[in-house]
């Protein structure tokens, strides 16, 4: 069975390639902001929002590729009960990182597999991250060094790069923090016969 990643995420693709999982990437073109707003207006929790977005992406691409097993993925940041979205520019990123500085937040990573436009499996994991009380000078250096690459992630950091220096404590699965809870996914792909058991 063909396996499709419904995402343009470079970290997710890198993880799958590193694990030697054969896949094709087809980004899901959905209006995430509108869907997110509708879910929050209905009183859905942060974890529900992450799962709903992952499912919507999987279903959307599965309609285009009904012959494939399609993986949708999403990650949301919960800061004191507020769902935070990706930043549009480095000015917004700086503002967000100043809000998170010295504080704790939760990252929820959700996965959904779909076949013939029907969700057949879901999984989500939560990681708790505490940013250290870094200096303004460090923040300036960080944003200059990392540049617009930080805008790809919901928290404006990449744990696999200099973003690791932002934290004093990280509790959770490394792959989940990167946006792809790998071990549960591999187990399901083995069960489906996509990779060898």
- What's the pLDDT tens digit per position in 47-86? 899 999 999 999 999 999 999 999 999 999 999 989 998 8
Is residue 76 a part of any domain in this protein?
yes
Q: What are phi and psi of 127, to 5 degrees?
A: -120, 145
31 catalytic? Reply is no
- Judge whether 53 and 110 are in contact, CB under 8 Å: yes
Domain with 174, as residue range(s), is 2-192
For residue 140, the domain's CATH number is 3.90.950.10
Q: How far apart are CA 174 and CA 160, in angstroms?
A: 9
| pLDDT-based confidence at residue 100 (cuts at 50, 70, 90) | very high
pLDDT at 139 over 90: yes
For residue 166, which of 150, 180, 179 has the smallest C-alpha distance? Answer: 150
- Angle (CA) 10 15 18, round 5°: 120
Share of the chain above pLDDT 90, in %: 86
Could you say which of 74, 133, 140, 173 is catalytic? 74
Is residue 15 a part of any domain in this protein?
yes
Mean pLDDT, to the nearest integer, of 25-41?
Answer: 92
Is residue 197 a part of any domain in this protein?
no
Q: How far apart are CA 188 and CA 66, in angstroms?
A: 18
All residues at 6 or more sequence positions from 151 whose CB lies less than 8 Å from its CB, including other chains: 86, 87, 88, 89, 90, 93
Number of domains in the chain: 1
| pLDDT-based confidence at residue 45 (cuts at 50, 70, 90) | confident
**For residue range 158-194, what is the model confidence (pLDDT) as tens digits?**
898 999 999 999 999 999 999 999 999 999 999 999 9
């Amino acid at each position: 069975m063909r396996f499709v990643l419904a995402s343009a995420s470079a970290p997710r693709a890198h993880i799958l390639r590193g694990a030697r999982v054969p896949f094709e990437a087809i980004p899901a073109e959905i209006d995430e902001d509108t869907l997110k707003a509708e879910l929050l207006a209905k009183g859905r929790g942060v974890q529900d929002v992450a799962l709903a977005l992952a499912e919507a992406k999987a279903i959307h691409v599965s309609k285009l590729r009904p012959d494939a097993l399609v993986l949708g993925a999403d990650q949301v940041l919960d800061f004191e009960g507020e769902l935070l979205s990706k930043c549009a520019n480095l000015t917004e990123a700086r503002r967000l990182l100043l809000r998170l500085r010295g504080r704790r937040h939760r990252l929820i990573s959700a996965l959904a597999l779909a076949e013939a436009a029907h969700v057949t499996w879901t999984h989500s994991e939560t990681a708790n991250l505490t940013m250290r009380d870094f200096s303004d000078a460090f923040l300036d250096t960080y944003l200059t060094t990392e540049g617009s690459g930080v805008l790809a992630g919901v928290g404006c950091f990449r744990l696999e790069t200099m973003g690791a220096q932002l934290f004093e404590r990280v509790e959770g699965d490394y792959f989940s923090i990167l946006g792809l809870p790998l071990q549960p996914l591999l187990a399901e792909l083995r069960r489906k016969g996509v990779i060898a058991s």
